Structure 1
Amino acid sequence: MGENSWIFRNRFKNEPGTALVPPSASPPYDTSEAGERRPFLFLPDTSIALINAENELINPSFNESGLPAPQLTSEQYSKIRKEWDTRNIRAYQIAHDQNGTEQLLVFRPADGPRGWDLLIQMGISTAPLKAIAWRQLTIFISLSLIALGAGLMLYLSILRKTLTPLNQMVKTVEELDAGKLDRRFDTSLGQSEIDRLAESFNGMLERLEASFENEREAREHMQRFIADASHELRTPLTSIHGFLEVLLRGAAEKPEQLNAALGSMLGEAKRMKKLVEDLLILAKLDRTPAVSRSETSLDTLIEEMEPQLRMLAGERKVIFSLAPHIRAMTDRDGIKQVILNLFHNAVQHTDPGLGTIHISLSVLAGNWAELRVKDNGPGITPEHLPHVFERFYRSEVSRVRNRQGGAGLGLAITQSIVEVHGGQIEVDSTPGDGAAFIVKLPILAADAPSH
């Protein structure tokens, strides 16, 4: 180890006070008043010591200006030597010197060719290290707080801009109920995600509003339907009940009154039977709208019904204008009932002697057939046109009921049958110029007429 090794070896072999100056000594050695030359190697907050083979601490004289070296137990020193032998070395040790100063100690063996068995112990005060650590921690916390404050100040406006629309949406949702479904969210808040959410809520509210409206209309329609059906059934039952009372009072013994009463009761019973049958047809169409279809020639079907229709018309003039070879997938009985109901409605509203009913069948573009039943009756006023297909609706209630006994279900049944076939029905009428009911049905094909 050169001159330093010579100093360490001779210092601990000679008597105290012996000068340890090697023959070639030169600075950095300091000469004391006694003429002894000492090295000046360490700072005031450091310590150095040597541990001999007996684990005794030797404090060298050149460390007098530094800190006193802490002394560990013999067991600790032995453990440190074993760690060095096995290369399982701890990084450091913390100990206190005789003045109570906490030091960070590190160790290194100092063996050599002359049989040294020393352990070098070097220490440094932990106070400066702790001061540096606390200073760094303080700087880190301060910078973190500054960054947090700057972030809050920077994003406060963004947070407010984001949360304000959400608060408005929450307030709107709280105000919604079954009677206020017309409220809508603002979709121009400037944030794409919130705008899309508002659009989704608006779509949901529109569907809910439509659902509630349909339910309300269906409930009102059902209530009106029940009231009308009850009224229609009550009328013939009241008539039959009155005729029975008359018969019980003695009219049964008079043939003329008996026959009149029985005839009237038979007529009321037929009307009530027809009403119940129409109600059953409507219930069936509402419950199971699917029908069994087969390929049908529409013009041939109407031609087969011609004798029956002319008989129903009586003295009225009936005109047929049918395009040939029009085929469609239909329920034959259903289409017959459609034609019969429309023709019967025309008969009801035309003069028995001067009435004219025109039935036409033609082909429209896009494989559609148009069936038109037109009469020359008084027509339908504009205020009644939107309601002609409603159940139990009659524009001239007393005249139709007293003369024909209708209940206002024929056109409603006709509309249901046409819609089941995927078709459409509409009415075109001008007061004083009759009415035309137009049925459009999808067809398979229409062959060109032969010449």
Structure 2
Amino acid sequence: MTRFLPRPPKSVRRRLILGATLLATAAVMTSQAIGYVVLSSWLLDRVDEQLVEFHPPAPAYDDALQDRLPDPGRRQDVLPSDFHIFFYDSSGRRLPNSLGSATKPEPRLADDATDLGLQDGHPETVPAISGDGRWRVLLNSGPEGMSAVVALPLDTVDGATSKLLWLNAVLLAVTIVALIALGRWVVRLGLLPLTRMERTAQDITAGRLDLRLADTDARTEIGRLGRVLNSMLDRLQKALVARETSEARLRRFVADAGHELRTPLTAIQGYAQLALRPELRSGPERNEANRFIAENAERMSLLVDDLQLLATLDKAPSYRRERVDLLSLAADAVSAAAVHSASHPVALGPLRTPADPAGTQELGLAETVGDPHRLRQILENLLSNVRTHTPPGTGVQVRVGTTEAGPGTGGTYRSGRTTVSPPLPAGVPVSVIEVADDGPGLGPVEAKLVFERFYRADPARSRIRGGSGLGLAIAATIAEGHGGRLELDTAPGRGCVFRLVLPAADSGQEPR
């Protein structure tokens, strides 16, 4: 049965127009039906009042019984309006004479009063003897057991209700047409924000990801929908940008790793081919080839170790959780650096703060919670970076102390400061280790890239001297894993200040 029912329109606009038209049509038809019933009932009550108020004169009964009623040509002058009176004698037989106009078909009445089915004083409706006319009749008791039926035609009532029905039909048709025409305009106007959303969504689908929905009024349903969609689009765009950035970094990382590995592999391959042909080389030359093979193999092994370490750090490794004395850590690193390289004098001193810019205070306790071996690795990378990228004789200062995170002390944003980690809350207690050198410093472009993997500030520098370009990336990752961050303050001719900012041991800050 349901498969024969008409399918509702799929368009929301058409559904709204159809629904509004049906509801308005039902409301108009209901009001018209109520008006029709009220008017018909009122007109019928008026006819009943006339019937009840009219009583046939007593002489008319005797005239009807004696057959002395006026002839049909004069009946209209005898009774008021369209009244018609039919008489029954005392035995209930209908008399042949009647009063009233003979221009209309008479009502259909029984020849015997007992068959009338009328009650005295209660009007009833009966059809005419011919045609589609109707009469309203009322039974009245007369003298000497006689009775009379007073009748009024319902032509006026039927004519008025018929005209009302036709008027209602025309009005209904006009209303439906007007509702469809105006409904389309009203619905189109009401759905205009959705239409704009549709066009904007099409433009976004076409590739214009920066577009946003204009209707965001929180007081309307469409506005709230627009705000939610804009928020969703922002998140999607950020996710796409993050994915594209991640893919680009991954491609660059793989390309750089392949490039870094290709050089030692090529050297190993070349010297290995020479080693396989001992008749062409002398003993010292073969020893030199073997030494180069070993050096490149060691370099490749270190590079692979660094790559594995970065992969491990990227997976959020678990660090040891113990109190670390950063002053002792820095002292050990400075001692080791002094032993390994005398070309870069290293000094240990207190941290410089806005309250003590000269660093005249004595060294004090600076503790954090973390993995001492990983934090020592950061210091070793920073000191090694200074020895590698600054000329001999460059002085290095390692400063240790405690302060609060801020633009002047570190841990938060400041113009010219470079980092890849999020800032710490301003004012939180932090422990800081600074590695400052008196070298040539870096320009703004180079400073923004120092924490990138495989980046070297001097592309012409040999890989044997310049390292793999992973040291600072590893150090920044370890610092962020401890809830802190590694940052750089530098300028051409002013040297570099690498600052390791970590939450103080009693600050309540947890590693990320």
TM-score w.r.t. length of structure 1: 0.75
Q: Do 1:47 and 1:68's aligned partners in 2 also have CA atoms closer than 8 Å?
A: no
The match for 2:384 among 327, 337, 344 is 344
Q: Which moved more, 1:289-298 or 1:311-320?
A: 289-298
Q: In the superposition, relative to structure 1, how do residues 15 and 62 fare at CA in structure 2: closer, same or farther (>3 Å)?
A: same
**Distance across 1 between alignment mates of 2:229 and 2:113:** 75
The match for 2:402 among 347, 355, 363 is 363
**Distance across 2 between alignment mates of 1:139 and 1:348:** 102
Q: What is residue 159 of structure 2 aligned with on the other side?
A: 131
Q: What is residue 373 of structure 1 aligned with on the other side?
A: 435
AA matched with 2:403: L
TM-superposed CA distance for 1:299, in Å, is: 2.4
TM-superposed CA distance for 1:397, in Å, is: 3.5
Q: In the superposition, relative to structure 1, how do residues 316 and 244 fare at CA in structure 2: closer, same or farther (>3 Å)?
A: same
Q: Provide the aligned C-alpha RMSD in A.
A: 4.4
SS in 2 for 1:321: strand
The match for 2:81 among 43, 48, 56 is 43
TM-superposed CA distance for 1:274, in Å, is: 1.4
Q: What is residue 410 of structure 2 aligned with on the other side?
A: none
Deviations 1:358-402 (A, max 9, x none): 111222222122221112233223321111111111112442513
Unaligned residue ranges in structure 1 (runs of 5+): 20-31, 447-451
AA matched with 2:378: V
**Distance across 1 between alignment mates of 2:293 and 2:369:** 42
TM-superposed CA distance for 1:195, in Å, is: 5.8
Q: In the superposition, relative to structure 1, how do residues 9 and 106 fare at CA in structure 2: closer, same or farther (>3 Å)?
A: closer
Unaligned residue ranges in structure 2 (runs of 5+): 1-54, 351-362, 405-426, 508-512
**Distance across 2 between alignment mates of 1:309 and 1:59:** 145
Q: In the superposition, relative to structure 1, how do residues 233 and 188 fare at CA in structure 2: closer, same or farther (>3 Å)?
A: closer
Q: In the superposition, relative to structure 1, how do residues 75 and 37 fare at CA in structure 2: closer, same or farther (>3 Å)?
A: closer
AA matched with 2:395: T
Q: In the superposition, relative to structure 1, how do residues 387 and 97 fare at CA in structure 2: closer, same or farther (>3 Å)?
A: same
Q: Do 1:104 and 1:126's aligned partners in 2 also have CA atoms closer than 8 Å?
A: yes
The match for 1:390 among 452, 466, 487 is 452
AA matched with 1:414: A
Q: Which moved more, 1:245-254 or 1:216-225?
A: 245-254
Q: What is residue 331 of structure 1 aligned with on the other side?
A: 371
TM-superposed CA distance for 1:418, in Å, is: 1.6
Structure 2 counterparts to residues 64-79 of structure 1, below 5 A: 64=101, 67=104, 69-71=106-108
TM-superposed CA distance for 1:5, in Å, is: 8.8
Q: What is residue 17 of structure 2 aligned with on the other side?
A: none
Q: Does 1:63 align with 2:100?
A: yes
Q: What is residue 409 of structure 1 aligned with on the other side?
A: 470
Q: Do 2:105 and 2:128's aligned partners in 1 also have CA atoms closer than 8 Å?
A: no
Q: Does 1:210 align with 2:238?
A: yes
**Distance across 1 between alignment mates of 2:252 and 2:498:** 25
Q: In the superposition, relative to structure 1, how do residues 188 and 220 fare at CA in structure 2: closer, same or farther (>3 Å)?
A: closer
The match for 1:297 among 318, 325, 331 is 325
TM-superposed CA distance for 1:79, in Å, is: 9.0
AA matched with 2:483: G
Q: What is residue 312 of structure 2 aligned with on the other side?
A: 284
Q: What is residue 345 of structure 2 aligned with on the other side?
A: 317
The match for 2:258 among 225, 230, 234 is 230
Q: In the superposition, relative to structure 1, how do residues 53 and 336 fare at CA in structure 2: closer, same or farther (>3 Å)?
A: farther
Identical residues among aligned pairs (%): 28
**Distance across 2 between alignment mates of 1:290 and 1:107:** 106
**Number of paired residues?**
415
TM-superposed CA distance for 1:245, in Å, is: 0.7
Q: What is residue 97 of structure 1 aligned with on the other side?
A: 129
Q: What is residue 45 of structure 2 aligned with on the other side?
A: none
TM-superposed CA distance for 1:135, in Å, is: 3.4
TM-superposed CA distance for 1:338, in Å, is: 1.6
TM-score w.r.t. length of structure 2: 0.67
TM-superposed CA distance for 1:298, in Å, is: 2.4
